[in-house]
Chains A and B, each alone.
Chain A
Amino acid sequence: DIQMTQSPSTLSASVGDRVTITCRASQSISGKLAWYQQKSGKAPKLLIYKASTLDTGVPSRFTGSGSGTEFTLTISSLQPDDFATYYCQQYSSFSTFGQGTKVQVK
């Protein structure tokens, strides 16, 4: 099974900050990586798929990058609506989620 290691688990930041979350796969996943945002009490929402493609309606301040086993999600200028928990998901072999990164107010 492919394991996904996401870091950090918690991130404290301020509005306007640049934020980066990392996801590492235990083996190559050929770019089959998605990022989701989950707000408290809500279902996850797809942000990025194929490692770097923004889903419809997702603000351009979100950027996904990486290949092979190393991937990042960057928020260029954190907005109040972005405080949430973020998960990566590999879909190369069945599916696995990372442990999540909570972005909280500094």
Chain B
Amino acid sequence: SQKIEQNSEALNIQEGKTATLTCNYTNYSPAYLQWYRQDPGRGPVFLLLIRENEKEKRKERLKVTFDTTLKQSLFHITASQPADSATYLCALMDSSYKLIFGSGTRLLVRP
């Protein structure tokens, strides 16, 4: 069955360092992959979308890579700040435009 895996353990890093989060998927060939941010008690907020023919996408301090051979996406936050602390969700869209989410990775940035 289709599966999306994100590291369930929280990632704890020092302010100023680069955070790298991983999303792996199986039994799926997505045309694109999305990353969302979710703060406690709030709905997910869209961050970035990367298409299968794009190797890398950047937005300010965020960078996403997409390797369709490895079936993996990496999400990087450079020069991390305590305000970046949140849960980051990886999502694929199926043919009916519904999103299939991973379980998310919690990021904690220490000042």
A and B associate in one complex? no
User: Which A residues are within 8 Å of any B CB, using their own CB?
Assistant: none
Residues of B with Cβ closer than 8 Å to A?
none
